[in-house]
Amino acid sequence: MTISWLPNRSRTAPDHVDVALSRGGAAQLRPLHAGETEPLLAVFEALSPASRFDRYLVGVPRLPSPMLHALVDVDGHDHVAWLATVAGRPAGIARSIRVAPDTAEIAFEVADAHQGRGLGTVLMDTVTTVAAAQGVRRITATVLPSNAPSLRLLARLGIPLTLRDGLLEGEGPLRLLDPARVDRHAVVALAQRQDGPVGQEGLVTSADA
Ligand SMILES: CC(C)(COP(=O)(O)OP(=O)(O)OC[C@H]1O[C@@H](n2cnc3c(N)ncnc32)[C@H](O)[C@@H]1OP(=O)(O)O)[C@@H](O)C(=O)NCCC(=O)NCCS
């Protein structure tokens, strides 16, 4: 199946996208703005040491300033991050960082209290949707072999993984989740407000694989 869209260049565009979570409840999604450390730190504080290790692949008791600033050095195109809030509180972040003209590395984190409710899936769908609309055609990701939820997420994208130096490294064509877990028109329209016009090409979903 191929998805095409015409982003809605709405005059009264909302500043977030609402989403219902698969296991109940709702979240709001929006791009993280450049230099916006507060929600990023709130999500970091809500990660257990084990989740921080899974996310950063090393123990990270606190975010050193250079790392913090690198994480909020988003530009909406080569470095894209989206924030999920639940009941108005930061609950998760997903990002894609372009590592080659058509390739981006993805990473995500969900506050421990919100894990297992479908939020990671929603965030992954959001950030891959934006990446695809901006011309990314391949994605990479690195996870610990013990990270079962991440392996499930990457399996859903159909990325082959290779064990290297104790880490699983994945790279493959970017195929969007099928069915969509977010309103992709709304996501692209909101991304467009941050980044200017984004692609309107048809996109391949995981159902095409
Ligand atoms: C990876 C992470 C983002 C997933 O977020 P989440 O909100 O729990 O994800 P979801 O609820 O959408 O679940 C994703 C999949 O993992 C599965 N899953 C969730 N928790 C699981 C667990 N403890 N064990 C096994 N599978 C699990 C879900 O069933 C789902 O698979 P399915 O769609 O086939 O049913 C979250 O666990 C996290 O932040 N972990 C720490 C940081 C990290 O590992 N980041 C990824 C590396 S960059």
Q: Where are the domains of the chain?
A: 15-197
- List b or e across 168-192, with b for residues whose CB sees 16 or more CB atoms inside 10 angstroms: bebbbebbbbbebbbbbbbbbbbbb
Give yes or no for residue 109 CB within 6 A of ligand 1: yes
Shortest-distance Cα residue to atom 18 of ligand 1:
149
pLDDT digit string (tens) for 92-124?
999 999 999 999 999 999 999 999 999 999 999
Question: In the prediction, which pLDDT does 193 show?
Answer: 83
What's the CA-to-centroid distance between 53 and ligand 1, angstroms?
14
Query: Mean pLDDT, the chain, as a whole number?
Result: 90
For range 81-96, the mean pLDDT:
98
Question: Is the sign of the CA dihedral 51, 57, 59, 65 positive or negative?
Answer: negative
Give yes or no for residue 149 CB within 6 A of ligand 1: yes
Residues 6+ apart with CB under 8 A from 45: none
Please, is 207 exposed, middle or buried when counting C-beta atoms within 10 Å of its C-beta (0-12, 13-18, 19+)? middle
What's the CA-to-centroid distance between 160 and ligand 1, angstroms?
18
> Is a pLDDT exceeding 70 seen at residue 203?
no
> Is a pLDDT exceeding 80 seen at residue 60?
yes
- Which CATH architecture does the domain made up of 15-197 adopt? 3-Layer(aba) Sandwich (3.40)
